[in-house]
């Protein structure tokens, strides 16, 4: 359990949440304020004594988040070193070759969705470069996708043969596409969405009865998260505003008309970073971290949560 702190003088009752945004337990505790590297603003974080999750509050507005993600500040867009779409595509492919990441996750999630979903119509929300849409297509799904990042959409188009729509995921999008999908995938997306707009309710609206929502998110209170504490690498507002535990994720979906079908944690780390830092000595810390992350995943304390939820 995280130790609550007394809110600083800038927080008043109007700036404190009444209930947990995930499990709706009353009176979350103020934790600390994290200053954004993007805009220099402090973002207060609150934690829940029931589900153990944390979230930014007040929640950034949909307009603020839309402007952030439709620009070049998000991690996917910042990571591209070239402005030429062809070179950006080549860079994305080369990165995946050197460190298989998205392709591994995408294949596993697509296979699980094919086994669990009642049909083969899927939506990829925040589809990024297109690795997950491609895996869904290879599994036999008919795929739609939405993505705000312009460079990401261009890479996605080259990878899959179609360009995602530049639409935000919100209640209006869900209303216009109600009941169209057998499966909806959000890989590394739910941690970005304003929970006061109830995006999980919107996922329920999008799905047919019995449809499956697949979620991949950073695992708040994984062993690595616990070790990092306030320096958790995923606490980067306003890019990330939600920090889910497994309990918090399950509670959030259960309270919005879903049944948990499968929930597991996985770990992955780009060991090339150790090679840059430690040079010829890198195998030693790499091996230690690999063992630590392996044990973490075996104990359901891995770095990421993969959850599958069926609409009741």
DSSP per-residue string spanning the chain = -PPP----TT--GGGS-SB-TTT--B-PEEEEEEE-TTT--EEEEEE-TTT--EEESSPPPHHHHHHHHHTT-SHHHHT---SSHHHHHHHHHHHHHHS--HHHHHHHHHHHHHHH-SSSEEEEET-TTSHHHHHHHHTT-EEEEE---HHHHHHHHHHHSSPPB----SHHHHHHTTT-EEEEEEES-GGGS-GGG-HHHHHHHHEEEEEEEEEEEE-TTSHHHHHHGGG-TT--TTT--EE--HHHHHHHHHTTTEEEEEEEEE----THHHHHHHGGGTHHHHHHHHHHHHHHHHTT--SEEEEEEEE-
Predicted pLDDT at 47: 97
Query: What is the tens place of the pLDDT at every residue in 7-65?
Result: 444 555 568 999 999 999 999 999 999 999 888 999 999 999 999 999 999 999 877 87
DSSP E strands, 154-251 = 181-187, 207-218, 242-243
Q: What is the pLDDT of residues 125-153, one digit of tens each?
A: 999 999 999 999 999 999 999 999 888 99
Report the mean per-residue pLDDT for the chain.
Answer: 89
At 33 the pLDDT is 97
Looking up tokens 């971290």 gives: 289
Query: Cα–Cα distance between 202 and 178 in angstroms, integer?
Result: 9
**What are 168-209's pLDDT values in tens digits?**
999 999 999 999 999 999 999 999 999 999 999 999 999 999
Cβ proximity of 128 and 76 under 8 Å: yes
């Amino acid at each position: 359990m995280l130790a609550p702190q007394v809110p600083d003088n800038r927080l008043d009752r109007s700036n404190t949440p009444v209930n947990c945004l995930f499990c709706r337990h009353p009176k979350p505790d103020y934790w600390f304020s994290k200053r954004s590297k993007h805009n220099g603003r402090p973002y207060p974080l609150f934690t829940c004594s029931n589900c153990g999750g944390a979230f930014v509050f007040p929640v950034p507005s949909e307009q603020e988040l839309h402007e952030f993600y439709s620009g070049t500040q998000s991690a996917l867009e910042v990571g591209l070193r070239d402005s030429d779409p062809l070179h950006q595509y080549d860079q994305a492919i080369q990165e995946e070759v050197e460190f298989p990441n998205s392709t591994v996750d995408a294949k596993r999630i697509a296979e699980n969705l094919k086994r669990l979903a009642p049909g083969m119509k899927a939506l990829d929300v925040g589809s990024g470069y297109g690795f997950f849409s491609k895996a869904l297509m290879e599994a036999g799904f008919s795929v739609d996708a939405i993505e705000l990042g312009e460079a990401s959409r261009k890479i996605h188009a080259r990878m899959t043969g179609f360009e995602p729509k530049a639409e935000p995921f919100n209640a209006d999008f869900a209303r216009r596409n109600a009941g169209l999908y057998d499966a909806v995938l959000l890989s590394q997306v739910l941690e970005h969405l304003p929970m006061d707009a109830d995006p999980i309710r919107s996922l329920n609206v999008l799905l047919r009865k019995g449809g499956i929502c697949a979620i991949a998110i950073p695992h708040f209170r994984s062993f690595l998260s616990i070790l990092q504490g306030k320096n958790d690498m995923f606490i980067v507002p306003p890019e990330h505003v939600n920090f889910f535990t497994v309990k918090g994720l399950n509670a959030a979906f259960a309270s919005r008309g879903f049944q948990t079908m499968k929930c597991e944690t996985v770990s992955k780390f780009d060991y090339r970073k150790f090679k840059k830092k430690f040079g010829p000595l890198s195998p030693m810390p790499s091996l230690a971290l690999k063992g630590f992350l392996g044990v973490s995943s075996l104990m359901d304390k891995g770095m990421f949560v993969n959850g599958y939820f069926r609409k009741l």
